[in-house]
Amino acid sequence: MKNILITGGAGFIGSNFVRYLQTAEPDLHLYNLDSLTYAGSLENLKDLPDPSLHTFLQGDIGDSALVNRILREYEIDTIIHFAAESHVDRSILGPAAFVQTNILGTFTLLEAAKNAWAGNYNGKRFHHVSTDEVFGSLSPTDPAFSETTPYEPRSPYSASKASSDHLVRAYFHTYGLPISVTNCSNNYGPRQFPEKLIPLMVLNAVQGKPLPIYGDGKQVRDWLYVEDHCEAIHLVLKQGKDGETYNVGGGNQPYNIDLVQEICAILDELHPQGKPHANLMTHVQDRPGHDRRYAIDITKIHAELGWQPRHDIASGLRATVEWYLQNPQWAQAVTGKEEYANWLNANYARR
Ligand code: NAD
Ligand code: TYD
């Protein structure tokens, strides 16, 4: 790895990865291509470990002329592809952007990599960051998702990610493009856009707003601290084999409702406001097609690369809540826009 292109590096996981990689490998030059949708923010890229080795490029992964130029001009040898539309609820209300970015955008990047690296795949890697949601929904007794679990996506978001995964693997089998894929579970940590469960609950609770629990709140996610995820991707880049897929999970699987209770308990301690924050919990209409349970089997990445998560939910959640409490200016910058108010209205007003 010498010249790295990170796509979606102004978003939640991408910006955490930029920080992580600059610390783990201080000599690499990182080029960060992000179109700055509602979910991307330059706030996420403030105070980087080494700004001189980070070049931000604003643009769309679906712009083939731009992507071709970037790969050639900066002699990119490694692509780490995070850019995506990433929120299930938004995919229900507006699926077109998911098809555009997640499927066609990934296709554009793959074509550009194939052309720029044609004839010399040595030392090159296209790493695709995907999700466990491609595997569908588990019953309480089903075994956890492994790398060989059949795909059964059930939302426009997961269907678009599944499609992109298939394209990435097709480029390996058909053209020999050196790819790797990680399918990870729900991430949480600093700088996550407050449309996702954990930051939404923290920021709503601090403002005394209702905490909307979809349905009975007995859905299960496998929570992965973002720094652990970054470490897994880094290991796959360095030691993972071309063409391979690795599942990455946190091993923490509470019911949503218990997770929100835990957030409230941490806030009662760190940010007391008179009444228990849990009083704000409100059951609202469920998400259509809501996947009931996700769980990840990390046997492969543990056995082959020695990875396992360092954070349990107790330590990760506390660090996360502390970060949002300590960074109110970040929250104001990313939620203060009209787009955010419009989103809350579109998704919650009629529930
Ligand atoms: P995010 O929504 O926080 O960030 C996405 C970033 O991509 C934003 O900065 C946005 O501006 C950028 N982007 C969107 N469309 C673009 C386009 N057409 N061109 C260029 N940039 C564009 O997402 P995230 O949570 O950081 O997720 C990153 C990746 O990880 C995604 O591929 C997502 O599917 C995957 N993933 C996320 C989670 C999770 O829990 N957050 C779990 C599993 C997999
Ligand atoms: P989310 O963070 O949107 O991630 P995903 O849908 O990709 O798993 O949601 C996590 C879980 O929390 C999911 O079961 C839906 C639920 N949820 C709520 O109960 N209320 C909310 O307001 C949100 C955003 C999510």
Q: Is residue 213 part of a domain?
A: no
291 Cα: distance to centroid of ligand 2 (angstroms): 10
Task: Tell me the C-alpha distance between 111 and 179, whole Å.
Answer: 13
300 Cα: distance to centroid of ligand 1 (angstroms): 25
Q: Exposed/middle/buried for 126, CB within 10 Å: 0-12, 13-18, 19+?
A: buried
Mean pLDDT along residues 240-254: 97
For residue 308, give its domain range.
Answer: 3-189+223-252+293-312
Give the residue whose CA is nearest to atom 33 of ligand 1: 86
Q: Is residue 98 part of a domain?
A: yes
pLDDT score of 1 more than 90:
no
Q: Is residue 199 part of a domain?
A: no
Tens digit of each residue's pLDDT (9 = 90 or more) over 85-127: 999 999 999 999 999 999 999 999 999 999 999 979 999 999 9
Q: Is residue 56 part of a domain?
A: yes
DSSP string, 48-116: -S-GGGEEEEE--TT-HHHHHHHHHHTT--EEEE--S---HHHHHH-THHHIIIIIIIHHHHHHHHHHH
Q: Is residue 161 part of a domain?
A: yes
Nearest ligand, CA of residue 253?
Answer: 2
Contacts of 174 (CB under 8 A, 6+ apart): none
Q: For the chain, what is the domain count?
A: 1
Q: Which of 34, 77, 89, 133 is catalytic?
A: 133
Q: Is 133 a catalytic residue?
A: yes
| CATH number of the CATH domain containing 90 | 3.40.50.720
Nearest ligand, CA of residue 211?
Answer: 2
274 Cα: distance to centroid of ligand 2 (angstroms): 27
Question: Which tokens in the block code for residue 78?
Answer: 């490694």
Q: What share of the chain in percent tops pLDDT 70?
A: 100
Does the beta carbon of 199 lie inside 6 Å of ligand 2?
Answer: no
| pTM, 2 dp | 0.99
What is the reported pLDDT for 347?
A: 98
What is the reported pLDDT for 109?
A: 98
Does the beta carbon of 165 lie inside 6 Å of ligand 1?
Answer: no
